[in-house]
């Protein structure tokens, strides 16, 4: 069966510090990978998605970036965090090339920028 | 374009009450439709799905029917429990837009004993 791991679960970082959140998927190959952000009490905002190694599509221009160095690894980064980067970050995957495949989410990372 | 609209919350119900959370969609093609549930502090979990018109998705007592004529996918449960308290998201994926998913804004449900 497939599983998705996302870490860390919680993170408190000062303004201006770097960020690295990691997500890995097991039990499948060539997944589509996604990073979402959820502000408190709000809906989901798609940040990045990837259909293959090195292929990243950005939905929202901001100081965040994403990379996919391996088939089942997706990393969210920032060089300098802003207060507005606080939120709940969710990694998700779906089967590549399967039109009706659902999204499967990790447990999320609660990021607080102080 | 594609979009999902779901009823505004929060919704508060007594235990054993009937639940309906409305969801309507706009899509350029033939989307698949999903309901997700998010418990406090957790990620979203797939609750049920339907991939074509008139399909009924069901899980854990929840049901939703894909209605193409009304572009709706309303979530229902006959008798809610306190443990159903969560935020519910309606979503669609449209194969014509590659691998994009479109989510509603979420509906918070609180069930009181």
Minimal CA separation from B80 to chain A, in Å? 22
Q: What is the pLDDT, as a whole number, of residue B98?
A: 66
Minimal CA separation from A73 to chain B, in Å? 18
Q: What is the pLDDT, as a whole number, of residue B91?
A: 96
Minimal CA separation from B51 to chain A, in Å? 6
Phi, psi of B96 (to 5 degrees): -70, -15
- Using DSSP's 3-state secondary structure scheme, residue B7 falls into coil
Tell me the Cα Rg of chain B. Answer: 14
Interval B13-47: pLDDT, tens? 999 999 999 999 999 878 999 999 999 889 999 99
Instruction: Say yes or no for a CB contact (<8 Å) between B99 and A43.
Output: no
- Using DSSP's 3-state secondary structure scheme, residue A50 falls into strand
Residue A109 pLDDT > 70, yes or no? yes
- CA dihedral over A51, A56, A57, A59, signed as positive or negative: positive
Q: Are strands B11-14 and B107-112 parallel, antiparallel or unpaired?
A: parallel
- Using a pLDDT cut of 90, give the percent of chain B over it: 83
Instruction: Say yes or no for a CB contact (<8 Å) between A99 and B44.
Output: no
Report the C-alpha gap between A6 and B88 in whole angstroms: 22
Phi, psi of A62 (to 5 degrees): -170, -170
Instruction: Say yes or no for a CB contact (<8 Å) between B89 and A44.
Output: yes
Interval B1-17: pLDDT, tens? 889 999 888 999 999 99
- What average pLDDT does the structure give for chain A? 92
Interval A51-60: pLDDT, tens? 999 899 988 8
Chain A and chain B share a number of CB contacts under 8 A equal to 61
Interval B47-69: pLDDT, tens? 999 999 999 999 999 999 999 99
Residue A99 pLDDT > 80, yes or no? no
| Winning range, highest mean pLDDT, from A35-39, A93-97, B57-61 | B57-61
Q: What is the pLDDT, as a whole number, of residue A2?
A: 87
Q: What is the pLDDT, as a whole number, of residue A97?
A: 72
């Amino acid at each position: 069966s497939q599983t998705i791991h996302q870490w860390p679960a919680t993170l408190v970082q000062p303004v201006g510090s770097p960020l690295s959140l990691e997500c890995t998927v097991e039990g499948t190959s060539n997944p589509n990978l996604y990073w979402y952000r959820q502000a408190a009490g709000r809906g989901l905002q798609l940040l990045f998605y990837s259909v293959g190694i090195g292929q990243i599509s950005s939905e929202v221009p901001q100081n965040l970036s994403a990379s996919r160095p391996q088939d089942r690894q997706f990393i969210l980064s920032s060089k300098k965090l802003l207060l507005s980067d606080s939120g709940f970050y969710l990694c998700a995957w779906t089967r590549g090339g399967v039109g009706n495949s659902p999204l499967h989410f990790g447990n999320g990372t609660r990021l607080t920028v102080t | 374009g594609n979009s999902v609209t779901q009823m505004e919350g929060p919704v508060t119900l007594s235990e054993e009450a009937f639940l309906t959370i409305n969801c309507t969609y706009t899509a350029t093609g033939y989307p698949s439709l999903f309901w997700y549930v998010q418990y406090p502090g957790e990620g979203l979990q797939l609750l049920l799905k339907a991939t074509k018109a008139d399909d009924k998705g069901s899980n854990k007592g929840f049901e939703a029917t894909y209605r193409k004529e009304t572009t709706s996918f309303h979530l229902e449960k006959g008798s809610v429990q306190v443990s159903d308290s969560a935020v519910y998201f309606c979503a669609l994926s449209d194969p014509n837009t590659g691998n994009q998913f479109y989510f509603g804004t979420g509906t918070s449900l609180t069930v009181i004993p």
